[in-house]
Chain A
Amino acid sequence: MAPSAADVYDAACMRVTVQFYAQARERAGRESEQVDISSGANIAALWKGLLERYPGLASLDGGISFVVGRACADRATVLSEGDEVSLLPPVSGG
């Protein structure tokens, strides 16, 4: 039996959770979001999609840092199913 369209979609896609903080949270208008993205996509691809959906994030482009789970990441970091990606604008604690 040929795989259903849903099976093909599941194989080609994975789901990650994005956590937005501070300016990123305000500009996206949400604290978190589940995103379906191509299997094997990297952070650059995720970020590109987010910028298209939330153009207000564009001004954060240079200063944003990415963390996957607890580990520092960069745009080349390849994502896996179930990853939690935190978007961290420039920090100003203390």
Chain B
Amino acid sequence: MALLTDKPLDEDLLRRQVATAASGALVSFAGVVRNENEGKGVLRIEYEAAPDLALAAMNRLEDEARRQFRIEGIIIAHRTGVLEVGEASVVIVVAAGHRPAAFEACRWAIDRLKETVPVWKKEHFEGGGAEWVAGVKLKA
């Protein structure tokens, strides 16, 4: 079950939620606010979601991942609101019997998330100013 929250993401807690006794591999990815983008210093990033649509899209991604890969479980969590440098905006955890499926599913899920989940980020720059990241046209 996907999670969309304005609270800090707790990667350890998410890992514990996904792991089962059959999980020989646990792979997690965290997307983290970085202090620069294309040569500009970034102070913080503001994340906005279309909440119902984003949560539904993340739940669909989890279902698709379970169908496509030999995995035991997956959870996709995305944060909204204003995040400082170093804070995680997205965490994906995949549990599988073996590592190949866990790595593949995790990589697939973050790549798909960036095209199919209606979330937007606005970078706030050092020295003032803010801009929405250009982004990609939403895929169904």
* B residues adjacent to A (C-beta < 8 A): 31, 47-50, 52-54, 56, 78, 89-90, 110, 113-122, 132-138, 140
Contact = CB atoms under 8 A, between A and B. Distances in A.
Given A67-B53, A93-B121, 20 more contacts: A21-B48, A22-B122, A23-B120, A86-B50, A86-B53, A86-B118, A88-B138, A89-B132, A90-B135, A90-B137, A91-B117, A91-B138, A92-B121, A93-B47, A93-B89, A93-B90, A93-B113, A94-B89, A94-B90, A94-B113
Contacts of A19: 50
A47 B44 CA distance: 33
Interface residues of A, number: 18
A89 B90 contact: no
Contacts of A72: 140
Given A22-B132, A63-B137, A65-B137, A93 B52 contact: no
B56 A94 contact: no
Interface in A42-94: 63, 65, 67, 70, 72, 86, 88-94
Contacts of B110: 94
Contact of A92 (B78, B116, B135): B135
A93 B114 contact: yes
Contacts of B138: 65, 88, 90-91
A19 B117 CA distance: 16
A17 to B, nearest CB: 13
B52 A89 contact: no
A23 B135 CA distance: 11
Given A21-B50, A22-B48, A22-B132, A93 B119 contact: yes
A91 B56 CA distance: 15
Given A21-B118, A22-B132, A93 B137 contact: no
Counting from the closest, the 10 A-B pairs by CB-CB distance are A93-B119, A90-B135, A92-B135, A22-B120, A92-B133, A65-B138, A94-B114, A72-B140, A92-B121, A88-B118
